[in-house]
Structure 1
Amino acid sequence: MARRVLVVDDEREIRTVLRAYLEADGNVVSEADTGAEALNRILATDGTAPDLVLLDIRLPDLDGLEVLRTLRRTSDVYVILVTARAEEADTLIGLATGADDYITKPFSPREVAARVRTVLRRMRDDAAPPGAAADDHVLRFAGLTLDEQRRELVVDGREIILSTLEFDLLHALAASPGRVFSRAQLLEEVWGYDFYGDERVVDVHIRGVRRALGDDAADPRIIGTVRGVGYKFLLRPEEGR
């Protein structure tokens, strides 16, 4: 099924090039050149809302980060930030706000298309495939259940909502409890391609996961920090999982 992608950028040339590459991949592509127009399209209720948004940070009306903050109040649409700014703070703020990925200008349109394919592969299924065993994709620990197929996380009887990458990051750790992952290993495991950005994006997402879980970094129960190396999942699997 074709996915809908919205390209938000005030430069027509960039929108045109990206549209050509994304349509060549079979996506249905629309465009917006302002933050206000982007919000209208993303929050549309007529069935035309996009599955993924390529969102430029610099827009003529609303800052792209403000657009993202507004979206995250009501929408979990996939968002890839596009920025020409040199400051790393913008990228880290965007990831902390709920962006799924980021790309820095100047970029290769082929790279953008590859990033979009990677994120869209994470599209959430509303139900398990027919015939799939219910427990095939479920990880169970004391007080925590992680269902990969349904993209559901339950902690102490309460469902916890994570962003796409936060869920994938937690699942990567939980699938190998006790194993220490370096940041580079987590980038490869979760992002799924050669990542040329700052490895601190892992730290940003770990903080988001901990915040959602109520896990204290100073005295963790679920995700431990291995100083100078990376992270590990602390809970032990329930018997028979």
Structure 2
Amino acid sequence: MALSAQAPLVLLVADGPQWREGLHQALVQEGYRVQQQPLPMRLQLLSPQAELVQPPDLLILNLPTQRWDLRSTVQQLERLRRRDLSTLFLMLPDEADEQARAALLDAGADDVLVRPFGLREFVARCRAMVRRAKRRELAQRAQDPAQVLRSGGLLLYRQECRVTLDGEEVSLTPREWKLLEYFMLHPGRAFSRDQLIEQVWGPDYSGDNKSVDVHVLWLRRKLEPGSAKPQRFITVRGVGYRFDPPAAGSPAPAEGP
């Protein structure tokens, strides 16, 4: 099959050559360009120094239970996600309870599919992830062509995946970054926890919606330190949360570099 250079690029890192080849063929038949690597590549891929010559559109990572350290994988996935917010991550653990799946999703995975599974579902999950990513990209371009969101002294650089507050860099986790971006795209609008889960965590998230409370708390601590009464991240009783822009007359934001 002749593949277009514009077809999504998939990096498949999985154990077992026969099983890996089966996934490879299913993806190629779907029209994806696929590079496959044996599982030992995982350690190099997730190391803090790892650099991909061509970041894939979708990275698929198999996690055999007998070799899987959940805490280590979560930490490594968070580091990898901080380096690249555009690549989609599909994790394929041999086993994973609800807590493990939620931990992987919170660390930056876009989806988790536990073995065993059928090839039709596997391909459909990949297709849905790519489709959602394209919709988000188009919506973001339409909403903010400048790719810089501003709220008082708070600036979010979407292409650079960084945030500054009064000129100082602020370190955010991937989920905090996405949640802040969504709030700043919709200033003054109240969202329920379920709406935020749907838009930021994604429809396949299987954890508790109280995760929203935790992430809002972390954003307050990082972006409103020492404030007894939050001015940006407002709790709307009986609804959820609202992000408020600065009040009229507030100092203008500093220009970014």
Give 2:164's aligned residue: 154
Matched residue type, 1:101 = D
TM-score, normalised via structure 2 length: 0.65
TM-score, normalised via structure 1 length: 0.69
Matched residue type, 1:76 = R
Go from structure 1 to structure 2 and tell me whether the alpha carbon gap of 1:226 and 1:204 turns closer, same or farther (over 3 Å shift): same
Quote how far apart the aligned CAs of 1:117 are.
0.9
Give 5+ residue unaligned stretches, structure 1.
none
Matched-pair identity in %: 30
Matches within 5 A, 1:212-223: 212-213=222-223, 219-223=229-233
Work out whether 1:101 is the aligned partner of 2:110: yes
1:45-96 CA-to-partner distances (Å, cap 9, x unmatched) read: 5726655432344444343552342354466344333345453221232244
Number of residue equivalences: 230
Cα RMSD of the aligned pairs, angstroms, is: 4.1
The structure richer in helix per residue is: 2
Give 2:246's aligned residue: 236
Counterpart-to-counterpart distance in 2, 1:10 and 1:88: 23
Counterpart-to-counterpart distance in 1, 2:149 and 2:83: 24
Matches within 5 A, 1:27-66: 27-33=33-39, 36-41=40-45, 45=51, 47=53, 50=56, 52-63=58-69, 65-66=71-72
1:120-155 CA-to-partner distances (Å, cap 9, x unmatched) read: 54999xxxx9xx9x9734332222012334444221
Work out whether 1:69 is the aligned partner of 2:79: no
Matches within 5 A, 1:1-241: 1=6, 3-10=8-15, 15-23=20-28, 24-33=30-39, 36-41=40-45, 45=51, 47=53, 50=56, 52-63=58-69, 65-73=71-79, 76-77=83-84, 78=87, 79-83=89-93, 85=95, 87-96=97-106, 98-105=107-114, 107=117, 108-118=121-131, 121=134, 136-190=146-200, 194-195=203-204, 197-200=206-209, 202-203=212-213, 205-206=215-216, 209-210=219-220, 212-213=222-223, 219-236=229-246
Contact kept in structure 2, 1:41 and 1:50, CA below 8 Å:
no
Go from structure 1 to structure 2 and tell me whether the alpha carbon gap of 1:226 and 1:163 turns closer, same or farther (over 3 Å shift): same
Matched residue type, 1:223 = F
Quote how far apart the aligned CAs of 1:111 are.
3.1
Counterpart-to-counterpart distance in 1, 2:133 and 2:208: 22
SS in 2 for 1:67: helix
